[in-house]
Amino acid sequence: FFLSLKLGNKTEGKHQKQICQIVLDHFEKQYTTELGDTWTRIRDILTHPLCWQYAVLLNKFSQSAELENTLRVKGYYPAFQENLPYLPSSFQCYISRTPGRFPAQKHQAGRLKEYFLLNAASLLPVLALEVKDGEDVLDLCAAPGGKSVAILQCASPGNFHCNESDVLRSRWLKQTIESFIPDAFINLIMFSTLDGRQIGDLKPESYDKVLVDAPCSSDRSWLFSSDTLQATLRLVQRKELPSLQFQLLRSAIKALRPGGSLVYSTCTLSKAENSNVINLILNSCSNVTPVDISEMAKAVSREFTFLGGMQQHELLVLPEKGRAWGPMYIAKLKKI
């Protein structure tokens, strides 16, 4: 069932218009307790899709000056500025303060897509990972592929392993990457359908960087569950997600080389799946240490709203009017 839970900002836009009251009531109770008055503002964004915004990530393998001109004419501007600790020149993303969505590109055989539409907050885990040319990288829960595509916009890994345990979602992942990445680069990517909890034992100390974009109770999509029975089942199963997330992180740590780093991300506001999971890892794994990512937060604070009171190794993006990005939790750890 965990596989069916991996939704989130990855599938936004495919929402139903009808809000699922069971989910909203559940969130209302939990998030009022955890976030107080802040939840009211977040709820107003999450329950009104017409307020949602979409970023346009340009594809460096299919560059178009005409596209950039069109974006600027429509009021789009670069989401990330040069003051970021890590921002490769090849990584270009445009956003607009106006709600709405730039037209999606249809797949054309033999032709790469020029851009990827996504929640801008989903790019922060990639920027926090700081992938450099030649590094061996694992995307542990990679489908449908947005973050994998973004990693390849940043650098050319030595080995790039994209894993997705669900076979159907793995096909989706490969199709996504094939739409954006030239064949010469795709041939260097290893695709697998392994259980992410086992990769650490199967490939110990094999990677310099690991991204764990974990299955989570994704707030945006769950609020628009069209099937009440499915929504009820999700809320019951939600309690088991932190255990899965912890096991995925333990596996990722095993897969990391000493000195390597990992980024953990979710698209939920839930403290149980975010800070609590990271705190449990830090308390139980003596070979990892937190990495300060507060400078990255400062550098993007004009475009993103973050929850206050977080520790320096973690961020939680909160959607608000005009900056309707997130929810997105990000934490960074290093293996010692």
CA distance readout (Å), 257 to 3, 153, 190, 200, 333: 27, 23, 18, 11, 12
Determine the Cα angle at 221 with ends 220 and 222, to 5°. 95
Residue 332 φ then ψ, to 5°: -125, 135
| 332 DSSP 8-state letter | E
Q: How far is CA 232 from CA 24, 223, 235, 269, 309, in A?
A: 11, 12, 5, 19, 32
What is the tens place of the pLDDT at every residue in 164-210?
999 999 999 999 999 999 998 998 899 999 999 999 999 999 999 99
User: So what's the pLDDT on residue 13?
Assistant: 42
Quote the pTM value: 0.94
Is 162 in a helix, a strand, or coil?
strand
Question: Is residue 4's pLDDT more than 80?
Answer: no
Q: Catalytic: which of 20, 93, 162, 267?
A: 267
Residues in the annotated binding site: 141-147, 164, 195, 213
At residue 56, the pLDDT reads 98
What pLDDT, on a 0 to 100 scale, did the predictor assign at position 108? Answer: 82
Ranges 7-16, 205-214, 259-268: which has the least confidence: 7-16
Per-residue confidence (pLDDT) for residue 336, from 0 to 100: 97
Mean pLDDT, residues 253-275 taken together:
98
Radius of gyration of the chain (CA): 19
Q: By percentage, how much of the chain surpasses pLDDT 90?
A: 89
Encoded tokens for 316: 């939680």
For residue 130, is it left (φ>0), alpha (ψ between -120 and 50) or beta?
left
Give me the domains of the chain, ranges plus CATH numbers.
34-52+119-335 (3.40.50.150)
Give the model's pLDDT for residue 82.
85
Which residues fall in the annotated binding site for S-adenosyl-L-methionine? 141-147, 164, 195, 213
7, pLDDT greater than 60: no
CA 82, CA 230: separation in Å to the nearest integer?
44
Give the pLDDT score at 106: 87
Asked about 154 being catalytic, the answer comes back as: no
Residue 5 pLDDT more than 50? no
